[in-house]
């Protein structure tokens, strides 16, 4: 993004913010005004209505009240209206942060949100407005928490997670217990001193409070860690710890809350508590698995109702959450397990578009929830009643910090001998310092029952610790991590070679482990993979052929490439059939709509060649809390790759070529960046015995004027032309008819008029030789289109030759977009085998 555009866009948005604030607080004021009015106002406006409807002539004297021309019934819409305003306000705040990017580099977003919340809270306080309804713990646990957890579970980097699962669970379970008990006991010790004036807090209440504040919320830390590319181990440990200690904390909380009510705690209660702990944890996981598999199984049958596919993901995971809540077992664990379980299968079952939708919606909901939570945290800080006790709050802060540090130190020493990659002291410091408190803590403290004495003190202390950790640690964590120079890693290089070697490594390590008679998670991974291939995939997937992660990455790259081709700036893409998928549209909209001069083939070639030979080493973040994983891969490789497929497809003539010219190894040709594509292409083609490019360019020059819009796609098609197109519903009759006719499709397409179809003529020749089956489907549904109809058919871009077979499943034909279905394997999925 250019800096100029930043500054330009900033001003209106900065203007918008106060405007919205005003609008929002204005709305509040109105509400404030209308609330007292409501009792007498609403009936007086409503009465005439009712009377007119029910008994129009019974009381004629009341007809003096005329039909109101303008009425306002604010209470009716109040809740959704205010909710919408809150969401909008929060979203505008987010827009604001991201327009000026430097802010979020140095100050974490959660921090900024709290600050804005404080401001809004201040405004609300000054107009005596009540805090928003979200503080109801039910609202939080039933509506705000599930999206956040679903997001974490759904975008969990699976491979590193399962590689480190032992450590993650160790820190999450034992670490949280350690923190809760440690902080609780130390605070209880503090309470014994008379000087601090908190003697009335008993042990149970201290433990209860400690269990609330020991939940670590890694959002801010993760953003920083991801930004600076910290090593995978630390990242995943923080990530997983944040996920699972939610579960632990909720269990602990309910346990201590129960104990806090009891006058005397017996030892049997403790054992029951431990038993309950396991029931809650294991139960949550089981429910998650159950609903995950059911969801996966359901999506097996949704290929005729693509529109509602995404719904199943949300409904089932929410169902898992609610059912777990029903039985008071860990709903967080349930939804996480459900998401992890279903993701892999669902993404293979649903169409590409549904997959995109699912991801976007998951991200969107989670972002909104999280934004609102931090925002409300700020608001509530101002608007609730506080009880400030210096000693208690300062000691809480101190103990939270100390016990976290000690916990990590001790637990790391214990877990280190069991880890292949051990945590150094620097790593441990990063882990300890990344332990910020957040949303869960905030929500839990408001669920404290009223009969807890000093409830307000607990609320104040919790808010204090959240704000302290988020602000102080959140801001300082980046400089400290950078200063300490904690081991970093290159983010996942999403290249085929790295993928191949990841797999090679797994197999080698697994093999050598077998050799020396030892095993680790690779052993279990192997076992699971076998089980998965043999049973799970058969049951849950419609198209259950096992797929290597290399192949899926490869497909993804291919697909991306195909989409990119169609998205390169050109005006008339929008005129293409309406099947352009949602995100294609989005990508397109972000580009300037440049009108090409008709027949400006040269320029187009320039653009293409630039696109082709720029090496992009895109990295894929793990799971940014706020961004979707970046799928864009290196394009260039694929383009070259298409060339190579085309060559290899050109049957035998090609295969002999390298043998003759190059004795030993395959030749690889390349271009200079921005080099002249046309000549290079000609060269390349000629060198492989095909003179078509000359024919092609010869055709192009004269027909250029009419080939206007398709001129770009011309090259795209040429690039991709080795790819076979799978059948899609609409074109089937025509296609099969044409396939039967002996006349070559080339001439058929020529007949379709000069409007750009002519470019196809040179292409099919080589293809025909190699792929008889697919050939018939190459010329889809515009037989009578003539010059008027654009021959650009982006969404039907066929999948590459490698997996065309898989489309033969007749059930797919109805799907409409065979291409898009196929690389539904996500970036996370690539990590799995």
The answer to whether residue 675 forms part of the interface with another protein (CB under 8 A) is yes
**Considering the complex, what minimum distance in angstroms separates the CB of residue 755 from another protein?**
33
Q: Angle at Cα 153 formed by Cα 149 and Cα 156, nearest 5°?
A: 135
**Considering the complex, what minimum distance in angstroms separates the CB of residue 640 from another protein?**
4
- Contact in structure between 634 and 744 (CB atoms under 8 Å): no
Residue closer to another protein by CB (options 181, 421) is 421
* Interface with another protein (CB under 8 A), residue from 554, 596, 626, 654: 554
The answer to whether residue 495 forms part of the interface with another protein (CB under 8 A) is yes
Per-residue contact flags (x/-) with another protein for residues 284 to 323, judged by CB under 8 A: ----------------------------------------
Distance from C-alpha of 378 to C-alpha of 114, rounded to nearest angstrom: 4
The answer to whether residue 192 forms part of the interface with another protein (CB under 8 A) is no
**Considering the complex, what minimum distance in angstroms separates the CB of residue 670 from another protein?**
4
Q: Angle at Cα 409 formed by Cα 403 and Cα 410, nearest 5°?
A: 90
Distance from C-alpha of 183 to C-alpha of 165, rounded to nearest angstrom: 26
The answer to whether residue 513 forms part of the interface with another protein (CB under 8 A) is yes
- Contact in structure between 144 and 223 (CB atoms under 8 Å): no
Distance from C-alpha of 604 to C-alpha of 700, rounded to nearest angstrom: 12
CB atoms within 10 A of CB 599: 18
- Contact in structure between 269 and 259 (CB atoms under 8 Å): yes
CB atoms within 10 A of CB 75: 16
The answer to whether residue 503 forms part of the interface with another protein (CB under 8 A) is yes
Per-residue contact flags (x/-) with another protein for residues 437 to 476, judged by CB under 8 A: ----------------------------------------
Tell me which residue has tokens 């208690």.
392
230 phi/psi in degrees, rounded to 5: -70, 160
**Considering the complex, what minimum distance in angstroms separates the CB of residue 512 from another protein?**
6
Angle separating helix axes 439-446 and 232-261, nearest 10 degrees: 10
Q: Angle at Cα 664 formed by Cα 659 and Cα 669, nearest 5°?
A: 75
Give the residue among 181, 145, 217 at the shortest CA–CA distance from 447.
145
Residue closer to another protein by CB (options 163, 246) is 163
493 phi/psi in degrees, rounded to 5: -85, 120
CB atoms within 10 A of CB 799: 25
Judged by CB under 8 A, the stretch of 143-151, 164-172, 227-235, 372-380 that binds another protein is 227-235
The answer to whether residue 384 forms part of the interface with another protein (CB under 8 A) is no
**Considering the complex, what minimum distance in angstroms separates the CB of residue 414 from another protein?**
15
* Interface with another protein (CB under 8 A), residue from 360, 640, 768, 769: 640
HSE at residue 364, side-chain half, CA atoms within 13 A, is 9
Tell me which residue has tokens 């009792």.
39
Q: List the beta bridge partners of residue 493.
A: 619
Residue closer to another protein by CB (options 239, 613) is 613
Q: Coil, helix or strand for 100?
A: coil
**CB contact burial 407-428 (16+ within 10 A = b; e otherwise):** bbeebbeebeeeeeeebeeebb
Q: Coil, helix or strand for 488?
A: strand
Distance from C-alpha of 78 to C-alpha of 83, rounded to nearest angstrom: 8
Residue closer to another protein by CB (options 247, 639) is 639
* Interface with another protein (CB under 8 A), residue from 7, 11, 420, 701: 420
Residue closer to another protein by CB (options 584, 631) is 631
* Interface with another protein (CB under 8 A), residue from 105, 498, 539, 651: 498
* Binding positions for another protein, 726-745, rule CB under 8 A: none
Residue closer to another protein by CB (options 212, 230) is 230
Judged by CB under 8 A, the stretch of 99-107, 447-455, 592-600, 640-648 that binds another protein is 640-648
Residue closer to another protein by CB (options 103, 500) is 500
* Binding positions for another protein, 678-717, rule CB under 8 A: 680, 683-684
Tell me which residue has tokens 């759904």.
154
Distance from C-alpha of 37 to C-alpha of 584, rounded to nearest angstrom: 50
Judged by CB under 8 A, the stretch of 23-31, 112-120, 319-327, 677-685 that binds another protein is 677-685
**Considering the complex, what minimum distance in angstroms separates the CB of residue 302 from another protein?**
23
Residue closer to another protein by CB (options 194, 652) is 652
Per-residue contact flags (x/-) with another protein for residues 83 to 112, judged by CB under 8 A: ------------------------------
- Contact in structure between 774 and 736 (CB atoms under 8 Å): no
* Interface with another protein (CB under 8 A), residue from 64, 615, 652, 740: 615
The answer to whether residue 670 forms part of the interface with another protein (CB under 8 A) is yes
Residue closer to another protein by CB (options 551, 734) is 551
- Contact in structure between 111 and 474 (CB atoms under 8 Å): yes
Judged by CB under 8 A, the stretch of 5-13, 106-114, 249-257, 658-666 that binds another protein is 658-666
Contacts of 540 (CB under 8 A, 6+ apart): 293, 296, 297, 300, 345, 349
**Considering the complex, what minimum distance in angstroms separates the CB of residue 269 from another protein?**
39
* Interface with another protein (CB under 8 A), residue from 461, 559, 638, 830: 638
The answer to whether residue 660 forms part of the interface with another protein (CB under 8 A) is no
The answer to whether residue 409 forms part of the interface with another protein (CB under 8 A) is no
**Considering the complex, what minimum distance in angstroms separates the CB of residue 683 from another protein?**
5
The answer to whether residue 414 forms part of the interface with another protein (CB under 8 A) is no
Residue closer to another protein by CB (options 152, 833) is 833
Residue closer to another protein by CB (options 359, 642) is 642
* Binding positions for another protein, 514-533, rule CB under 8 A: 514-520, 526, 530
HSE at residue 260, side-chain half, CA atoms within 13 A, is 25
Give the residue among 332, 319, 324, 321 at the shortest CA–CA distance from 241.
332
Judged by CB under 8 A, the stretch of 15-23, 283-291, 562-570, 801-809 that binds another protein is 801-809
Contacts of 100 (CB under 8 A, 6+ apart): 6, 10
Give the residue among 18, 153, 78, 164 at the shortest CA–CA distance from 828.
153
The answer to whether residue 622 forms part of the interface with another protein (CB under 8 A) is no
The answer to whether residue 800 forms part of the interface with another protein (CB under 8 A) is yes
Distance from C-alpha of 183 to C-alpha of 86, rounded to nearest angstrom: 35
The answer to whether residue 808 forms part of the interface with another protein (CB under 8 A) is no
């Amino acid at each position: 993004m250019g800096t100029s555009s930043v500054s330009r866009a900033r001003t209106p948005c900065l203007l918008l913010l106060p405007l919205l604030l005003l609008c929002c607080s204005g709305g509040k004021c109105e509400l404030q005004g209308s609330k007292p009015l409501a009792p007498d106002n609403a009936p007086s406006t409503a009465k005439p209505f009712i009377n007119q409807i029910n008994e129009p002539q019974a009381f004629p004297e009341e007809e003096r009240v005329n039909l109101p021309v303008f009425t306002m019934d604010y209470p009716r819409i109040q809740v959704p209206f205010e909710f919408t305003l809150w969401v909008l306000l929060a979203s505008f705040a987010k827009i604001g942060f991201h327009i000026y990017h430097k802010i979020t580099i140095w100050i974490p977003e959660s921090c900024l949100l709290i600050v804005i919340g404080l401001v809004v809270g201040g405004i609300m306080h000054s107009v005596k407005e009540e805090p928003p309804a979200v503080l109801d713990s039910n609202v939080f646990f039933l509506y705000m928490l599930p999206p956040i957890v679903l997001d974490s579970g759904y975008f969990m980097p699976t491979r590193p997670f399962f590689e480190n699962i032992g450590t993650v669970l160790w820190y999450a379970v034992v670490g949280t217990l350690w923190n809760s008990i440690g902080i609780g006991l130390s605070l209880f010790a503090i309470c014994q001193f008379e000087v601090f004036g908190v003697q009335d807090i008993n042990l149970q209440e201290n433990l209860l409070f400690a269990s609330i504040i020991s939940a670590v919320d890694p959002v801010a830390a993760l953003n920083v860690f991801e930004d600076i590319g910290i090593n995978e181990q630390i990242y995943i440990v923080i990530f997983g710890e944040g996920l699972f200690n939610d579960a632990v904390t909720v269990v602990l909380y309910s346990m201590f809350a129960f104990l806090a009510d009891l006058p005397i705690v017996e030892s049997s209660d403790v054992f029951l508590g431990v038993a309950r702990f396991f029931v809650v944890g294991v139960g949550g996981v089981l429910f998650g698995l159950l609903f995950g598999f059911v969801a996966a199984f359901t999506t097996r049958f949704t290929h005729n109702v693509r529109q509602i596919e995404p719904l199943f993901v949300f409904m089932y995971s929410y169902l898992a959450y609610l059912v777990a809540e029903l039985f008071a077992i860990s709903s967080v664990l349930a939804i996480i397990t459900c998401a992890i379980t279903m993701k892999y299968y669902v993404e293979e079952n649903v169409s590409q578009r549904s997959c995109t939708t699912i991801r976007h919606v998951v991200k969107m909901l989670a972002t909104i929830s999280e934004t609102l939570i931090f925002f409300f945290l700020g608001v509530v800080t101002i608007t609730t009643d506080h009880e400030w006790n210096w000693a208690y709050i300062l000691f809480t802060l101190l103990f939270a910090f100390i016990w976290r540090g000690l916990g990590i130190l001790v637990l790391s020493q214990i877990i280190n001998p069991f880890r292949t990659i051990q945590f150094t002291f620097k790593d441990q410091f990063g882990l300890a310092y990344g332990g910020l408190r957040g949303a869960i803590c905030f929500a839990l403290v408001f669920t404290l029952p009223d009969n807890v004495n000093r409830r307000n003190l607990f609320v104040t202390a919790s808010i204090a610790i959240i704000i302290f950790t988020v602000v102080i640690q959140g801001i300082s964590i980046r400089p400290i991590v950078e200063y300490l120079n904690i081991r970093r890693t290159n983010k996942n290089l999403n290249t085929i070679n790295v993928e191949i070697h990841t797999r090679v490594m797994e197999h080698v390590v697994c093999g050598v482990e077998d050799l020396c008679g030892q095993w680790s998670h690779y052993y279990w991974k192997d076992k699971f993979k076998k089980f998965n291939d043999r049973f799970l995939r058969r049951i849950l997937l419609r198209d259950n052929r096992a797929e290597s992660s290399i192949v899926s990455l490869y497909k993804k790259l291919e697909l991306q490439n195909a989409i990119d081709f169609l998205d390169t700036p050109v005006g008339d893409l929008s005129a293409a059939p309406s099947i352009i998928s949602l995100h294609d549209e989005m990508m397109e909209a972000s580009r300037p709509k440049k009108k090409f001069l008709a027949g400006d083939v040269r320029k187009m070639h320039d653009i293409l060649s630039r696109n082709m030979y720029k090496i992009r080493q895109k990295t894929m973040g793990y799971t940014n809390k706020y961004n979707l994983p970046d799928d864009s891969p290196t394009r260039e490789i694929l383009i070259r790759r298409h060339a190579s497929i085309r060559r290899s497809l050109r049957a035998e003539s090609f295969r002999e070529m390298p043998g003759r010219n190059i004795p030993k190894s395959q030749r690889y040709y390349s271009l200079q960046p921005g080099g002249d594509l046309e000549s290079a292409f000609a060269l390349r083609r000629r060198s492989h015995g095909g003179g078509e490019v000359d024919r092609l360019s010869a055709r192009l020059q004269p027909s250029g004027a009419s080939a206007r819009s398709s001129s770009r796609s011309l090259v795209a098609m040429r690039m991709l032309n080795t790819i076979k197109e799978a059948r899609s519903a609409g074109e089937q009759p025509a296609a099969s008819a044409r396939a039967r006719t002996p006349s070559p499709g080339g001439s058929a397409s020529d007949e379709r008029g000069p409007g750009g179809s002519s470019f196809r003529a040179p292409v099919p020749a080589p293809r025909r030789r190699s792929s008889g089956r697919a050939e018939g489907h190459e010329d889809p549904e515009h037989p009578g289109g003539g010059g008027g109809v654009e021959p650009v058919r982006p969404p039907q871009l066929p999948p590459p030759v490698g997996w065309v077979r898989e489309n033969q499943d007749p059930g797919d034909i109805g799907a409409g977009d065979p291409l898009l279905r196929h690389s539904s394997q996500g970036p996370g999925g690539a990590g799995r085998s």
